[in-house]
Structure 1
Amino acid sequence: MAVDPHLEPHWDSAALITIDMQRDFLSDGAFGFAGTTEILPNLGKLTKAFRAAGRPIVHIVRLYPADGEDVDRVRRTIVRSGAEFAQPGKPGRLLAEGLAPAHELDDQLLLSGEPQLLGPLEYALYKPRWGAFYRTLLDELLIRHGVDTLVFAGCNLPNCPRASMIEAHERDYRVVLVTDAISQASEQGFREIADLGTALCSTAEVVSPAP
């Protein structure tokens, strides 16, 4: 079947977007999602390929300050009640071991909305709600690097990855979901995402040939 030219990924102008791959959200984390630890090997292959190709990587993260003042409503009560997950200053908010260059997250910088440089063309960026574009500088960062294709992977497809992909489509990016590098996935979820115009690819299809 011919690929729709309006949807076909442009690998030479692509960026990898990882969503919420933080230690507290790993499979055995205090607020973890089943299957998230298990996708780390494929995420490692994706980040290695994008670094080798000199393409941008943006690690989208959540931070939940203890006062719960700027927290999505569904989690505001438990955060204000003392639940500690992805909390500034706590180790659980850090990216999963080996996912990014060895850098401590700069909570103050991230909460201010600025991207944190982790390595050449590799960033961390805080999002205050589900979508990676909502109240963030993600679009500006991608435009600066000439990106028109976004490759998504990470934690909990029904929530933050899905919201982020919808926002990406609304901004006319070409969108790819890596189906074996996303947790909490289902065939129904894949069908719904594909119906938006998302290309569904495996890790092997993304990294060979490398973007």
Structure 2
Amino acid sequence: MPRTALIVIDMLNTYEHEDAEALAPSVREKLPGVTALLRRARAAESPVVYVNDNFGRWRSHHGEILDVALAGRHPDLVGPVAPAEDDLFVVKARHSVFYETPLAYLLGRLGTERLVLCGQVTEQCVLYSALDAHIRHFAVVVPEDAVAHIDGDLARAALRMMSRNMGAAICRAADVAFDD
């Protein structure tokens, strides 16, 4: 099996943005899938890489981003997915996890060939990240029960696009295999 990395997208969130109240119920519903993936990836010693928005805080680092998110409106959605000490962290400023970040370089150094994308938002950051992963020749897996959405119709369309246009494997979190 190719080396697999779990990419956790924007789960350290303050929920203080325009779409937060529409997003939070979906995050709550998808949280068990995300936490299951985290447990299994860590147990398999697969790389876990958090790629998170910096919320315009240009002097921020992962510890500060976590602290700000835990002080936000829904710490119950952040605490269960807080990075472990050995997890990796990349700060992003735009939708794709690859856009002007060192993620591709990091994944290359790790020998990664396959990405499991989880987090938020299915029809935005997850979709754009899947496209950017595809054009970089990564195999992409998106567990539908581990990606949260703002708009359910758009999320379903995004999952279909990832499958059809990018060859992404759309599955359940329980069906994802990590490196042994």
TM-score range, shorter chain: 0.7 to 0.9
For structure 2, the 5+ residue unaligned runs are 59-63
Q: Distance in 1 between matches of 2:103 and 2:156?
A: 29
Please point out which of 24, 33, 43 is paired with 2:14. 24
Q: Which amino acid aligns with 2:3?
A: S
Q: Which residue of structure 1 lines up, in the alignment, with residue 61 of structure 2?
A: none
CA RMSD of the aligned region, Å? 2.9
Compare CA radii of gyration and give the structure with the larger one.
Answer: 1
SS in 1 for 2:56: coil
- Flag the structure with more relative contact order, 1 or 2, with Cα contacts below 8 A and sequence separation at least 6: 2
What is residue 14 of structure 1 aligned with on the other side?
A: 4
* Alpha-carbon distance in 2 for matches of 1:46, 1:88: 19
1:194 to 142, 146, 163: 163
Match runs of 1:24-173 below 5 Å? 24-25=14-15, 31-32=20-21, 33=23, 34-65=25-56, 90=68, 91-92=71-72, 96-101=78-83, 118-120=84-86, 122-173=87-138
Q: Identify, as 1 or 2, the structure richer in helix.
A: 2
Question: Percent identity, aligned pairs only?
Answer: 30
How far is 1:66 from its partner? Answer: 6.5
Tell me the CA shift for residue 52 of structure 1: 0.5
CA–CA separation in structure 2 for the residues paired with 1:176 and 1:87: 26
After TM superposition, the score normalised by the length of structure 1 is 0.68
Rate the CA distance shift 1:154–1:89 in 2: closer, same or farther, 3 A. Answer: closer
